[in-house]
């Protein structure tokens, strides 16, 4: 395989890991057939060798696993208990596919980005560590699920939607003012507490200010711009 083709395969593979279902299918459908075949083979191999799930009661340092919350391109997320402070937390393990040197740097950068942003609408980072060669990130546990599940549970008043997304927009603006672009704002990365409070999560695709200038596809608007569009949330409102 030529270096150029290998680069294209790696880029498409990493992009595919960040998508599921129809979004992944559409991404692969637009790719070169030979590159797509290589990526589909890698994805199939990944499905055959995903991380063994940790069962309830398993302990990693001071953290006791309670349940699996979800799995995506960046890794696996569990609900756990911090036994030192007796509080619920979420633990995110880096995927095997991203455990190379570049993936580790990216994962550490996510922790540094999120922990540097002290904002009520951004998920708080508590800790970062490594277990059996796998890096993990410990954050606050948001108990209401994602924006998508919040929207599906019941019909929402337009005022509820406006108030919720205004908080997210304020979080985005705060990140921009700190020189950080999230780059992956979607319903799955917006968590909602049971009392209806929104929290922006997962800065794994963010870029620090020095890197964003090298990417021609990044939004170059005023960092203080507060407009926000979240595609795919499926929010229904009563006018």
Work out the burial of residue 136: count CB atoms within 10 Å of its CB; fewer than 13 is exposed, 13-18 middle, 19 or more buried: buried
* Tokens 């020095």, located at residue: 210
Rounded to a whole number of angstroms, the distance between the first and last alpha carbons of the chain is 56
Beta-bridge partner residues of 137: 92, 128
**SS3 assignment, position 106:** helix
Beta-bridge partner residues of 89: 80, 140
Q: Is 202 a catalytic residue?
A: no
Work out the burial of residue 128: count CB atoms within 10 Å of its CB; fewer than 13 is exposed, 13-18 middle, 19 or more buried: middle
Q: Exactly one of 96, 184, 219, 222 is catalytic; which is it? A: 184
Alpha helices (H) along the chain: 3-17, 21-29, 33-48, 101-116, 147-153, 158-177, 209-212
Q: What angle do CA 39, 73, 125 make, to 5 degrees?
A: 155
Cα–Cα distance list, 153 to 94, 136, 218, 235 (Å): 30, 31, 33, 10
Report the length, in residues, of the chain. 239
In this structure, the strands spanning 75-82 and 63-71 are: antiparallel
Enumerate the active-site residues.
184
């Amino acid at each position: 395989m030529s270096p150029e083709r290998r680069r294209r395969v790696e880029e498409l593979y990493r992009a595919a890991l960040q998508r599921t279902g129809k979004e992944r299918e559409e991404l692969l459908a637009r790719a070169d057939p030979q590159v797509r075949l290589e990526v589909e083979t890698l994805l199939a191999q990944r499905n055959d060798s995903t991380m063994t799930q940790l069962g309830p009661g398993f302990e990693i340092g001071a953290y006791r696993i309670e349940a699996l919350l979800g799995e995506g391109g960046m890794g696996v997320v569990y609900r756990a208990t911090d036994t030192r402070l007796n509080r619920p937390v979420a633990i995110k393990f880096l995927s095997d596919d991203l455990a190379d040197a570049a993936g580790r740097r990216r994962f550490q950068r996510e922790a540094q980005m999120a922990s540097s942003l002290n904002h009520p609408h951004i998920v708080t980072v508590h800790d970062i560590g490594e277990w059996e060669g796998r890096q993990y990130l410990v954050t606050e546990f948001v108990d209401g699920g994602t924006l998508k599940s919040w929207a599906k549970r019941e019909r929402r008043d337009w005022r509820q939607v406006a108030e919720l997304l205004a908080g997210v927009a304020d979080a985005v603006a705060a990140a921009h003012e700190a020189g950080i672009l999230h780059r992956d704002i979607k319903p799955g990365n917006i968590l909602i507490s049971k009392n209806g409070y929104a929290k922006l999560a997962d800065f794994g695709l963010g870029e620090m200010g020095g890197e964003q200038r090298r990417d021609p596809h990044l939004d170059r608007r005023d960092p203080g711009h507060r407009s926000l569009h979240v595609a795919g949330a499926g929010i229904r409102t009563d006018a």
